[in-house]
Amino acid sequence: MNAGIRNRSSRPSRSRGSVIINTAIALSLIIITLIGTEIGFMYFMKREFQKAADLAALAGAQQIRAGCAAATAAAQLNANGAAGGTPGNMPTGLTLLPGEVQCGYWDKDTSFQSPAVTGTANAVRVAFQKASPTLLSFFTGNRLISVNAVAALSAPLAQFSVGSKLVVVGGDSTLGRLLKGIGLDLSGTSLVAYDGLAQAKITPGGLLAALGIPVAADIGVGELNTLLAGRQVALGDLLNAIVTLAGQNSLLASNIALLQTIQTKLGLANLMVQLGSLANGPNGLFAQIISPGGSGSSALNVGVNALDLLYTSIGVATANHAIDVSSLNINLLSLAKISVQAGVVQPPSIGIGGIGAKAYNAQVRTFIHVTTDAGPLSSVLQSLVKLDLPIVLDAVTATGTITDMCTPALQDPVSGKDRAKFQVRSTIANVCVGKIDPTDLFSKTDACSYPATLKDQDLINVLSGLLKVKSHVALPVLQATPDAQLTLSEGETGTTPVNNLQLGTTVSQLLGQLASLLFGGNQPPSGTPSATQLDQLATQLWNDTASICTASNVFCWGQRYSSAINTIRQNAGQSGLITGLLNGVLDLVSGLLNTCTGLFSIGEQGCKNMIRDTLASQTNGPSGSVSNAISFLAGLLQPLLDAIGSSILTPLLTNVLGINLGQVDVNLKSLDCKGLPMLVY
């Protein structure tokens, strides 16, 4: 019984201990739950802080082009809300301060700069540290939360091209006219079907995919330029990819014919196209992409005109290869033989990018070789006059650079459209005469650099060296116009002002220097031709008058003599070597002693002797006496020099190449100014 009592009395003590333990556990769980709840709330508030910072940065970036003050105001409005209006995104009781908003520049390589150093401000950073509100007021301690957000506005992008002003000829297809501008006259080849490509747009990214070239989705602009500059593709593959992406599969067969025609013109196969360009390197299909603050992926998604792609691809593939264009109908007064070649020494390119982006037109070189070795002149005066003039003329080279874009000040005052501003620099880069190594002729952009590329050569040789010009002529770089400024909307084409230095003036300067070498200077040619040379020249002049009459009488001889003397007088007079009338050149005077028509005439030989004496006589020139023979032969070449300008250079540039020398077109194909804000940090 006692034992039972003891057992009953022991149970309550065990029960009381169990309650205390359970209570302690329960309290611990409550405390842990409260702490966890508070910590969770702080994490929630951190997310709210971060969300507010992100949204404020995005709102600020969207207004960054209007200035930092506008961007800061937009960020604060988004975070704090408007007084009495829509609430902001900051938690209740907290405010985003102006000092917590920074404007700056961001790109993948430099991260965020404030203030902007590398480029124009394009990003906003919102950074603040604030104490989190508490869910349970009895918790104390450090409750500061720091957040940081950077939003950048995607760079505005333009796609544009630069080209020489082309002459529009009735019946020309657009592609045919463009190809003429780079020396490819494909007359007889049907190119009209390609004009439909002018309405199609292709993205560089799509083109690379069609060519099987992989590109990372997050590629940077620098990496993209390096990738493109390091890749070459066959021209045929590129042409096929372009027409396929443009939805013009019917042109695949035309591509075969077009490629074969080009290869036949050049005498080459396996034409290759470099896709990209780097600074101070050769140009490719796309000029170096400049996109401040932008990414390579944005440039890959720009729409590019398919016809521009096709034409520029051909220009890049055919660069540094000469094309014979001697089929041009050239009249050089039957005095000489000429050969003419044209080719691209610097290909055209397509420009993509923002401020600082460039595009180039094709630098087309024309090489005209004028000689008398195998022409009609050599059969008439073969041992008396030899001419060898290698002439290089580079058509207008031009660079268009975006200097500003998408600002309120540039908007069209009438339509309100966004616009881009271009600086256009154009020059007639090279005009020269002299010896150039054939390997340098179409492979170097500056063939007229003396003495590196251009060398002295025997240009003119009269009377087997009596009058000889071994030299060169190189006009300095000719500025076509002052740097022109063009402001264009999407789809517009602007043209630089007419070149004040017209082609005729350019040719006049070139030929003037040639004439100066031959006719002028302080040391005019002196001396008298040999007796044999004088006999040969007098006989030739006499024989040339046979068309007047052939009768063996003094009347016919007198007419022929007068004609020969007039020829001497006219040619010598235009040589620039004489002043006044020629001494010793007299009209025929009847007299007993006249050996041509006088009483003691010895017939044709007497007339030839009188012509010979006239040629041997001396004339007073600007710096001394010059033989009439030298003056006559020098003047004989002047019409030839004039004909080079009027019969070669002008029709070649306008009719064959289709270039209106001195004017440049800039076409703004597309312009994207919207610029979407994106979180970059």
226-268, pLDDT tens digit by residue? 999 899 999 999 999 999 999 999 999 999 989 998 888 888 8
What are the residues facing 479 on neighbouring strands? 427
pLDDT of residue 514: 62
Q: Is residue 120 domain-resident?
A: yes
Q: Is residue 6 domain-resident?
A: no
Q: Is residue 74 domain-resident?
A: yes
Are 507 and 478 contacting, i.e. CB atoms less than 8 angstroms apart? no
pLDDT of residue 578: 66
Instruction: Examine the domain organization and report whether 113 and 164 are in the same domain.
Output: no
First to last CA, the chain: 82
Rounded to whole angstroms, the Cα distance separating 675 from 681 reads 18
Are 59 and 75 contacting, i.e. CB atoms less than 8 angstroms apart? yes
Instruction: Examine the domain organization and report whether 170 and 47 are in the same domain.
Output: no
Rounded to whole angstroms, the Cα distance separating 371 from 334 reads 12
Instruction: Identify the domain boundary among 117, 151, 185.
Output: 151
Are 339 and 331 contacting, i.e. CB atoms less than 8 angstroms apart? no
Are 627 and 529 contacting, i.e. CB atoms less than 8 angstroms apart? yes
Among 340, 349, 291, 339, which residue's Cα sits nearest to residue 317? 349
Please tell me which of 3-7, 464-468, 480-484 the model is most confident about, judged by mean pLDDT.
Answer: 480-484
Average pLDDT value for residue range 304-332: 78
Instruction: Identify the domain boundary among 621, 654, 671.
Output: 621
Are 564 and 541 contacting, i.e. CB atoms less than 8 angstroms apart? yes
Q: Is residue 634 domain-resident?
A: no
Categorize the per-residue pLDDT at 538 as very low, low, confident or very high, splitting at 50, 70 and 90.
Answer: confident
Categorize the per-residue pLDDT at 170 as very low, low, confident or very high, splitting at 50, 70 and 90.
Answer: low
Rounded to whole angstroms, the Cα distance separating 609 from 598 reads 14
pLDDT in tens, 277-299: 888 778 899 998 887 666 777 88
Residue ranges of alpha helices (H) inside 246-283 are 252-266
- Tally the domains of the chain: 3
pLDDT of residue 500: 52
What are the residues facing 101 on neighbouring strands? 126
Cβ partners under 8 Å of residue 78, min gap 6 = 55, 56, 58, 59, 60, 88, 89
Instruction: Examine the domain organization and report whether 507 and 400 are in the same domain.
Output: yes
Instruction: Identify the domain boundary among 151, 177, 193.
Output: 151
H/E element, 30: helix 2-62
- Give percent of the chain with pLDDT exceeding 70: 73
Are 397 and 427 contacting, i.e. CB atoms less than 8 angstroms apart? yes
Token couple for 439: 């390997």
Are 367 and 432 contacting, i.e. CB atoms less than 8 angstroms apart? no
Handedness of CA 456, 462, 465, 467 (dihedral sign): negative
According to DSSP, residue 372 is labeled S
Token couple for 78: 């988004």
Instruction: Examine the domain organization and report whether 444 and 583 are in the same domain.
Output: no
pLDDT of residue 421: 95
Amino acid at 154: S
Average pLDDT value for residue range 202-223: 88
Q: How many CB atoms lie within 10 A of CB 354?
A: 28
Categorize the per-residue pLDDT at 1 as very low, low, confident or very high, splitting at 50, 70 and 90.
Answer: very low
Rounded to whole angstroms, the Cα distance separating 122 from 675 reads 10
pLDDT of residue 645: 61
Instruction: Examine the domain organization and report whether 146 and 170 are in the same domain.
Output: no
Helix and strand totals (H; E) in the chain: 17, 30
Rg (CA), the chain: 42
Rounded to two decimals, the pTM is 0.68
pLDDT in tens, 116-143: 666 678 889 999 888 877 666 655 656 7
pLDDT of residue 523: 47
Instruction: Give all strands (DSSP E) within 556-643, no chain letters.
Output: 618-621, 624-627
Q: Is residue 419 domain-resident?
A: yes
Categorize the per-residue pLDDT at 423 as very low, low, confident or very high, splitting at 50, 70 and 90.
Answer: very high
Kindly report the average pLDDT of the chain as a whole number. Answer: 78
pLDDT of residue 681: 78
pLDDT above 90: residue 212: yes
According to DSSP, residue 170 is labeled T
Token couple for 284: 């490719």
Instruction: Examine the domain organization and report whether 290 and 194 are in the same domain.
Output: yes
Average pLDDT value for residue range 37-47: 75
Q: Is residue 11 domain-resident?
A: no
Instruction: Please state the φ and ψ torsions of residue 344, each to the nearest 5 degrees.
Output: -90, 125
H/E element, 130: strand 123-131
The domain in which residue 60 lies consists of 16-151
